[in-house]
Structure 1
Amino acid sequence: MAPVPLSPINVGHIDDVQELRKDRPSTIPDRYVRDMVERPTLDTVPLSSSLQIPIIDLSKLIKGNKDQSQSELLKLYSSCKDWGFFQVINHGIETSLLEAIEKVAMDFFMLPLEEKEKYPMAPGTVQGYGHAFVFSEDQKLDWCNMLALGVEPHYIRNPKLWPTKPAKLSETIEMYSSNIRKLCQNLLRFIAVSLSLIQDTFDEMFGVAVQAVRMNYYPPCSRPDLVLGLSPHSDGSAITVLQQGKGSSVGLQILKDNIWVPVQPVPNALVINIGDTLEVLTNGKYKSVEHRAVTHKENDRLSIVTFYAPSYEIELGPLPELVDENNPCMYRRYNHGEYSHYYITNKLQGKKTLDFAKIST
């Protein structure tokens, strides 16, 4: 049985990190200071390390010759199986659109606090401006401001939470999200083929897929060794697309063999990661991976994240093609809407939310 969710609480403007940074640039309130075991420490590989997440060239999968396509497909298979993360290049999204979404996102975060607070993230929800996944007065906060919006299907949107400033924000999100949706559909087709499944397996199964966008702004922090930009977690999505802001500090880290590996931005590439839902569907062959964000003493960071998942009405479980004597069923069947509710009403704690679907042994 799933644990009873903690009661969500309000996090007021007093905890807005941009305002904290503005008013007391050298002060780190206790609410942000992590316990020793959670702090970013030396268990992170150096940025100069050759340990880098794989890069997938989507154009080779779509338009390459037979040898190129097969080689890239094998690389995609190993990326999903061994890393759960990869960066995709030649993805077909115009550089001008990537730049436009970064500009409106940054323009929003630079607005006065009273303007941003017109779109508050209500307790127990994940849409609007503020802190998500906060359920107790003594829970540590992430050194991050975020704006999260439901995009598709339309009924999940809350129009009151779509900012009217900057003027082109809504229009740009619509265009960007449409392009990212096509990318997700393309990637899932190739992911299906990499598993020897019919190409449209996920597209047909997902129904009208759920899509949400979240913009994260991480101000500089005088003591980056004491805080986290975003708590360690895996995503509840099928796949997640992350755009790292141009010129931002390196902040994304993934847990690989119990070591935190920083993800070096590649110009105009998008970072893709496997979510819990795809781990369940592949019966653990492709695993969602724990990741976190750290802060920088002098530089800020912007990221734009898109979550892509099945319709809330869909019942999910491991695909029969991926269950056999050597790979017994690891997850139960469940309603995706129930899992989504469970995910957003629990704290970010590594991969703990996936316990919802695991079969007890």
Structure 2
Amino acid sequence: MDTASVIPISVGHIHDVQELRKTKPTTIPERFVKDVTERPTLDTTLSELPTHIPIINMSKLMNGNPDEFQSEILNLTTACEEWGFFQVVNHGIDLSLFESIEKVTKDFFMLPLEEKQKYSMKPGTVQGYGQAFIFSEDQKLDWCNMFALGLEPEGIRNPKLWPTEPAAFNGTLESYSSEVRKFCQILLKYIAVSLGLKGDVFEEMFGVAVQAVRMNYYPPCSRPDLVMGLSPHSDGSAITVLQQENGCPAGLQILKDNTWVPVQSIPNALVINIGDSLEHRAVVHEESDRLSIVTFYAPSYAIEIGPMPEFVDENNQCKYRRYNHGEYSKHYVTNKLRGKKNLDFARI
């Protein structure tokens, strides 16, 4: 989670969107107004597009009969190959944990600014409260407050950033993250099977997997057509697990076939994003706030990554070089959110 030359944006009311919202500004501060070419499309043609993001029923993979299992494995194969994004239902995580993590997260964001600033992102890090991926004083900011923490392995944790309020925050996050970690391990097993590989291939390859969480709070904005909740980007993790608060308006959009497609979240489902694959962004709304909790699950920083020999031959040659995952992770967090350009790090 460590990086360098990052400018933390969390100090002072002017850069905190919740505080801005309280002042009910008649205009959006220039620091948040995106250039014309970077503004979201908020017309009705976008919002009415059908959303065909695949849905995977985990219970059919874990408990289904052979026919159901094979059918769902094929669905998973299609979801990974053609989308890189899908929703998982019947994931096995206790829904009371969903409610608990949403409550303590919302309670944290509702704390006074002075209390949240005790956990501000410090220069050279991407953990804490504020906005990450900010590298210059004139860089445009997203309409979002973030709180990010490293979880596993123990060495990436910063105990000073774990809040004392709300009192239930730390224990709830520990329980939630433990269950999400188990879910990621199970999902990777089925992704391996969908590729015709041994189920434990990724678990063995990853070593002690890195896990981090980022909580995003998007307050309403009087001019959502001018701002971006989260700039377009692709993730640098092996699996990203997104939990969205039930009843929240759609905010996540994915770039599919050069069209931004909104993802209508299924209640109590998890939205999954695999690898550094599909570009996505978040938009905000004029009257409603939105909360999301994102878990990033990735290989150990110590391992070397490269194309798997099972999928390389004279007809399908390597497009990416082998590299140390820690080097890639450092490259990812020391660059702006900029679509899929970070993947150029390893491109041959």
TM > 0.5: yes
Secondary structure of 1:117's match?
helix
* Residues 45, 261 of structure 1: 8 Å contact kept: no
Tell me the TM-score normalised to structure 1 length.
Answer: 0.93
What does the per-residue CA deviation read over 1:8-51, in whole Å, with 9 as the maximum and x for residues that have no partner?
Answer: 22423220000011113433100000001100126885333333
What does the per-residue CA deviation read over 1:193-251, in whole Å, with 9 as the maximum and x for residues that have no partner?
Answer: 11111111100000000000000000000000000000100000001000011221210
Q: Structure 1: how far apart are the matches of 2:37 and 2:105?
A: 33
What does the per-residue CA deviation read over 1:113-146, in whole Å, with 9 as the maximum and x for residues that have no partner?
Answer: 0000000111231100001000011110010000
* Residues 44, 262 of structure 1: 8 Å contact kept: no
1:22 matches 2:11: no
2:6 to 5, 8, 21: 8
Q: Structure 1: how far apart are the matches of 2:253 and 2:32?
A: 19
**Letter of the aligned partner of 2:271 in structure 1?**
V
Q: Structure 2: how far apart are the matches of 1:44 and 1:357?
A: 38
Match of 2:334 in 1: 345
- Aligned-residue offset at 1:6: 8.5
- Aligned-residue offset at 1:325: 1.8
Tell me the TM-score normalised to structure 2 length.
Answer: 0.96
Secondary structure of 1:46's match?
helix
Match of 2:203 in 1: 203
Q: Structure 1: how far apart are the matches of 2:164 and 2:222?
A: 32
1:325 to 305, 314, 326: 314
Q: Structure 1: how far apart are the matches of 2:241 and 2:7?
A: 29
Match of 1:156 in 2: 156
Match of 1:68 in 2: 68
Aligned residues: 344
* Residues 218, 229 of structure 1: 8 Å contact kept: yes
1:292 matches 2:281: yes
Report which stretch shifted further, 141-150 or 36-45. Answer: 36-45
1:301 matches 2:299: no
- Aligned-residue offset at 1:326: 1.9
Q: Structure 1: how far apart are the matches of 2:70 and 2:328?
A: 35
1:1-361 equivalent positions in 2, closer than 5 A: 7-11=5-9, 12-13=11-12, 14-41=14-41, 46-276=46-276, 288-359=277-348
- Aligned-residue offset at 1:265: 1.1
* Residues 47, 264 of structure 1: 8 Å contact kept: no
Q: Structure 2: how far apart are the matches of 1:116 and 1:136?
A: 23
* Residues 101, 176 of structure 2: 8 Å contact kept: yes
- What is the percent sequence identity of the aligned residues? 72
Q: Structure 2: how far apart are the matches of 1:9 and 1:127?
A: 12
* Residues 21, 221 of structure 1: 8 Å contact kept: yes
Q: Structure 2: how far apart are the matches of 1:6 and 1:179?
A: 31
**Letter of the aligned partner of 2:89 in structure 1?**
I
What 5-or-longer segments of structure 1 have no aligned partner?
A: 277-287
How large is the RMSD of aligned CA atoms in angstroms? Answer: 1.4
**Letter of the aligned partner of 2:270 in structure 1?**
L
Change (3 A) 1:55 1:78: same
**Letter of the aligned partner of 1:350 in structure 2?**
G
Report which stretch shifted further, 232-241 or 46-55. Answer: 46-55
Secondary structure of 2:46's match?
coil
Secondary structure of 2:174's match?
helix
Match of 1:279 in 2: none
Q: Structure 1: how far apart are the matches of 2:218 and 2:286?
A: 11
**Letter of the aligned partner of 1:327 in structure 2?**
N
Q: Structure 2: how far apart are the matches of 1:164 and 1:328?
A: 52
What does the per-residue CA deviation read over 1:32-91, in whole Å, with 9 as the maximum and x for residues that have no partner?
Answer: 000011001268853333332111000001110111000100000000111110000000
What does the per-residue CA deviation read over 1:284-331, in whole Å, with 9 as the maximum and x for residues that have no partner?
Answer: xxxx10000000000000000000000010010010001112211011
* Residues 231, 338 of structure 2: 8 Å contact kept: yes
Q: Structure 2: how far apart are the matches of 1:349 and 1:209?
A: 25
Q: Structure 1: how far apart are the matches of 2:159 and 2:37?
A: 40
Secondary structure of 1:31's match?
helix
Q: Structure 2: how far apart are the matches of 1:43 and 1:72?
A: 35
* Residues 46, 260 of structure 2: 8 Å contact kept: no
* Residues 233, 348 of structure 1: 8 Å contact kept: yes
Q: Structure 2: how far apart are the matches of 1:197 and 1:175?
A: 31
What does the per-residue CA deviation read over 1:137-157, in whole Å, with 9 as the maximum and x for residues that have no partner?
Answer: 111001000000000111100
Secondary structure of 1:349's match?
coil
